[in-house]
Structure 1
Amino acid sequence: MLQANQAQIMLQLQDKMNAKVNPEWLVTRSPFLRAVVIEGAEAIEHHGWKWWKKQDCDLAQLQMELVDIWHFILSELLLQAEGEHQQAQAAIFADIDQQSVQFDGQDYHFSELELLQKLELLIGLAAAKRCSIGLFSALLVDCQMSWVELYQQYVSKNVLNFFRQDNGYKQGTYRKTWDGREDNEHLVELMTQLDASADSFQDDLYQALHQRYAVSK
């Protein structure tokens, strides 16, 4: 289960990341739930949905999409809370154990839905400017992730986001694909080579990304 200190750290990191991209992000009020729609569709692609051909589920990338989605959910919660971390944290824990949601006049019980149906519901809610932490928690279970693993991967992806910004992501000069693979794939590989519980994990991962990016083509 997600711990209060982990939720607090993630909210702090997300606030810091958003402020790095745009110091006035709370005033700008970017459409974070629109991003959830897009990332949800990408998660469906990584899972595979085409019934007319054989497809294999890329679980590692599917998990990474959930981490991306969590970034935008945290941002939306902070936006709704006007930047108040404690209020956003309370919203997480008020909803995290919910087992169903009502949408478009229908009750959806998460235990009755398959993974793709949960992703479709996530997208539908986000398009309607809503999010459900209980639904997200159910998606974690389907994708074989615990909240602890989400926390570790979130911190890793946060490092990647800072790395992107430091290397020209906003200016359009950053190369997202290195040596024929996207940076997300490099991140997954490097994460397995480092100790995620170490105090220096964030710095170690940043330096590993920097070294690989510097010599890449």
Structure 2
Amino acid sequence: MQNKSSIQDMLAMQAALNEMTNGADWRSGKTALGKVIDWRRCIVMETAELIDSYPWKHWKSVDAKTDMENVRVELVDIWHFLLSLSLENFSENEAADLLTKAYESSLDQELSDLSVIVQVEIHEAMMAKALIKSSVTDSYLLALTAAFFKSCQVAELSFEQLYQIYMAKNVLNKFRQDHGYKEGTYIKEWNGKEDNVVMFEIIERMSSFSGDELYISLKETYTKLA
């Protein structure tokens, strides 16, 4: 039940974030400005960025290492869109039940010591499901979410880590919106570091995670840029 409770927390936060960024009627598939919302396309594009964190290219950087930290960050971004897709098509309680079921069904999988290409193929399987443009039924959402959690296992991203990073990213996303992200005035690079990196550095200094404390620290650091 703890897993479902955490998923319910994240669904509620995502609903609030979507309303703030896209308007109260975001579940209609359009923003307040009339722009079409396609959560599955978002998942596809984020998965492509995730795959580029791997040294999959045969023609350059053949000895490069996988940027697994970025893989995990991209997975958390994908989770934002998966939560949103769930909320667009189901009630919060229904979505929580389906996402929890998909997570619990993934617990008996053993995925370790996989080659780079096999790992990439697992991520591509998630992308392939997101490219399907059929109705978002119970079975479809379960299959897509199961593929997501398989990708998390490949990246050694636990549910607890997913929850903490999601909560932190939610704070960062709110901070971005409060400071001109939608208007294009927000500065994403802070003294040579992307705001994501700065956020993780702040979290590492915390004795225990606090969303309010993170927001205050982000604001203090951002103010110094000006």
Corresponding residue number in structure 2 for 1:102: none
TM-score in terms of structure 2 length: 0.82
The one of 150, 173, 187 equivalent to 2:199 is 187
Corresponding residue number in structure 2 for 1:90: 97
State how many pairs are aligned: 203
Tell me if the contact between 1:110 and 1:118 (Cα under 8 Å) persists in the aligned partners. no
Alignment of structure 1 residues 34-73 onto 2, 5 Å:
34-52=41-59, 53=61, 54-73=63-82
Corresponding residue number in structure 2 for 1:104: none
Matched, 1:171 2:183: yes
Secondary structure, in 3 states, of the residue corresponding to 2:205?
Answer: coil
Which stretches in structure 1 are left out of the alignment for 5+ residues?
100-108
Task: Report the Cα offset of residue 185 of structure 1.
Answer: 1.4
**Kindly tell me: are residues 196 and 124 of structure 1, through their superposed partners in 2, closer, same or farther at Cα, counting changes over 3 Å?**
farther
The one of 149, 154, 157 equivalent to 2:161 is 149
Corresponding residue number in structure 1 for 2:129: 125
- Paired with 2:104 and 2:110, the residues of 1 have a C-alpha distance of 11
Tell me if the contact between 2:43 and 2:81 (Cα under 8 Å) persists in the aligned partners. yes
Tell me if the contact between 1:110 and 1:138 (Cα under 8 Å) persists in the aligned partners. no
Task: Report the Cα offset of residue 196 of structure 1.
Answer: 4.2
- Paired with 1:126 and 1:196, the residues of 2 have a C-alpha distance of 35
- Paired with 2:202 and 2:4, the residues of 1 have a C-alpha distance of 27
Task: Report the Cα offset of residue 94 of structure 1.
Answer: 3.0
- Measured against aligned partners, the alpha-carbon deviations of 1:173-212 in whole angstroms (never above 9, x if no partner) come to 1111121221111122222112445xxx000111111111
- Paired with 2:170 and 2:118, the residues of 1 have a C-alpha distance of 29
- Measured against aligned partners, the alpha-carbon deviations of 1:113-135 in whole angstroms (never above 9, x if no partner) come to 92211111111111114552222
Task: Report the Cα offset of residue 110 of structure 1.
Answer: 8.8
Equivalent AA in structure 1 for residue 26 of structure 2? W
Secondary structure, in 3 states, of the residue corresponding to 2:93?
Answer: helix
Matched, 1:214 2:226: no
Which stretches in structure 2 are left out of the alignment for 5+ residues?
31-36, 134-139
Corresponding residue number in structure 2 for 1:103: none
Corresponding residue number in structure 2 for 1:4: 4
Tell me if the contact between 2:39 and 2:81 (Cα under 8 Å) persists in the aligned partners. yes
The one of 187, 194, 213 equivalent to 1:204 is 213
Corresponding residue number in structure 1 for 2:14: 14
The one of 149, 152, 174 equivalent to 1:162 is 174
**Kindly tell me: are residues 37 and 196 of structure 1, through their superposed partners in 2, closer, same or farther at Cα, counting changes over 3 Å?**
farther
Equivalent AA in structure 1 for residue 161 of structure 2? E
Task: Report the Cα offset of residue 9 of structure 1.
Answer: 0.2
TM-score in terms of structure 1 length: 0.86
Tell me if the contact between 2:7 and 2:100 (Cα under 8 Å) persists in the aligned partners. no
Tell me if the contact between 2:203 and 2:214 (Cα under 8 Å) persists in the aligned partners. yes
